Amino acid sequence: MIKVTRINKENSSLFLPAVDTLSLAVCDIILGAYDEKTDTACGILAAESEDNGQTGYSFAIRHIYVNEDWRGKGVGRALINALMDLSLEAGAKTLLCCHMENENEENALSLFFEALGFMRTKDALPVYAFRLSEIDKGKADDKISCIPLKELEDRKWRELLLLAEKKSAVINVKRYYDENISSVVYDGREGLKGALLISRRNGVLAVDRVLITKENRTRILEALIYQAVTEAEKLCPPGTEIGIILTDQDQEMTVKELTGFKAEKVGSFAAHVLQ
C-alpha cells in the first residue's frame, strides 16, 4: 500500500538522491511516497505555499517525480491527493502545478494532471536556480542607480503597474514582495527603466517578476541582480539559494553569464489550475 509522509531533516535521507536537488530550494512543502509493505521510497512531490493579497492563498507544485519502477501504480495520484488534503486544511483557494522540462515526459504529465481534474491555463515560464555566491558581481554598472521598493513613491509604483501591464505581467500587492531586496531602476528624465521583484520565504529568495524596458536591457538587469544579491547577503546565511523566473532569451543568457553558466534549469512555473 502506498503511503505519503512529509519529508523533513530527520527522514530526508530515505528519499535521496531524488530529494537532494536544487529545484527543491524554493519549496516549503516536500512530500515523499513509500511502499508500506517493503518500506521502499518510490516518489516525491515538492510544492510552495503562497499568500497573495489579490488571488488568496494557494499551493503550487514545483516538482513531482516517481521512480520508474513504480510508475502506473498510483504513486503520483497518492502524492497529489495528499497535497490536495493539505491545501484544503490550509484554506487554499487554488492548487497550481508545473511541467518539468523533460520533453519525453511532457505529454505523460499533461494526461496525468488532466485526469486529476486540472486544466491548462497558459504557457509556463522557465525557472532557473542558482546560489547567491555564483553571481559575478563585477558586472554591475555604477552609473545605474537602483531604488529599493520600500522607497518607491506611489506615483512610481503606478508607473511600475503600467510597465507590468505593458509586459502582460501581474504585479501583486506591495506587501507581497521583500521591500529590502526588491528594487527598480528609475531615470529622472525617462522614468521607470526596470524592476526586479523578489519575495523571501523561509530563507529562500524567489524572483517573481523581471520587468525591463527595451533600452540597455542587459546593463539594467545586471544592476538589479547585483543590488538584490548585495542586500540578500546582508539578510540571508551564506549559500542561500535563489530561484530566477526568466521571461525571454535575453534575460536567460544574461543570468547564465552572471552565474558563470552555473544557472540550472529546473522546471517551469504554473501551467495548470484546479477546476
The helix (run of H) or strand (run of E) holding residue 95 is strand 94-97
DSSP 126-175: EEEEEEGGGS-GGG--TTSPEEEGGG--HHHHHHHHHHHHHTT-----GG
Decide if domain 2-124 falls under CATH 3.40.50.720.
no
How high is the pLDDT of residue 263?
73
Which tens digits make up the pLDDT trace of 81-110?
999 888 888 777 677 765 544 545 556 777
Question: What is the CATH topology of the domain spanning 136-258?
Answer: Aminopeptidase (3.40.630)
Please determine, for residue 236, whether its predicted confidence score (pLDDT) is greater than 80: no
How high is the pLDDT of residue 4?
95
- Backbone φ and ψ for 250, nearest 5 degrees, come out as -60, -45
How high is the pLDDT of residue 171?
76
Closest by Cα among 37, 50, 121, 43 to 82 = 43
- The residues spanned by each domain of the chain are 2-124, 136-258
Please determine, for residue 17, whether its predicted confidence score (pLDDT) is greater than 70: no
